Amino acid sequence: MDEKVEYDVLEESLYRCGASWDAAQTHGLLTGRLAIGGAPAGPDWLLQVLENVDEGNALRKECEKQLDTLYQSTFWQLSERLSEFVPLLPGDADDVGARAEALAHWSEGFLHGLVSAKHGDALKERLGSEPLSEIIKDMLQITQVELDEEIDEEENDAAYFELVEYVRVAAQLCYEELTDIRNTKSETK
């Protein structure tokens, strides 16, 4: 899948069309929803991200186009299991504080995606057991991430990259761990 959505472009598009979600939250939400619901989660995710945006808003159409591209590429990255999944976050040239804040928002969106879908007992049980329960606890901590003002930017940068790698791998692991939940949902439809 060659087509990619750039963080800054989607961030601006969401802002301009009046969405209440930012780019990082939107991608985190999508990733959590895909982990639980697979491909059929896309339409509900799109409606949730754009729920307060007037359907007649011309900017909404452009935003929908970008969100569809994001949906397609994210689903492909997760489902192909080629370790190409990367959370949608600001680029390395951005301030580490802004990147850390976006990572916290991504984690919020991801957790929201996991828990806001319709839950059956099997999903609740799975989310409460290892390794998913630990990932959820870790993601909750990442939602509170802040820069350590007592260390230099290089160390903060290194810590940020470690967290991003953890989130990347954790999201892929969640997707893998929830395969039977997605399969059960698709069989009952």
pTM, entire model: 0.92
Q: Measuring CA to CA, how many Å separate 116 from each of 20, 112, 153?
A: 17, 6, 36
User: Tell me: the pLDDT tens digits for 142-185?
Assistant: 999 887 777 788 888 899 999 999 999 999 999 999 998 888 75
Q: Phi first, then psi: what are they for 92, rounded to 5°?
A: -60, -20
Q: CATH second-level architecture of 7-187?
A: Up-down Bundle (1.20)
Q: What does 7-31 look like in DSSP terms, one character per residue?
A: HHHHHHHHHHHT-SS-HHHHHHHHH
pLDDT at 119: 67
User: ∠174-28-25 over CA atoms, to 5°?
Assistant: 160
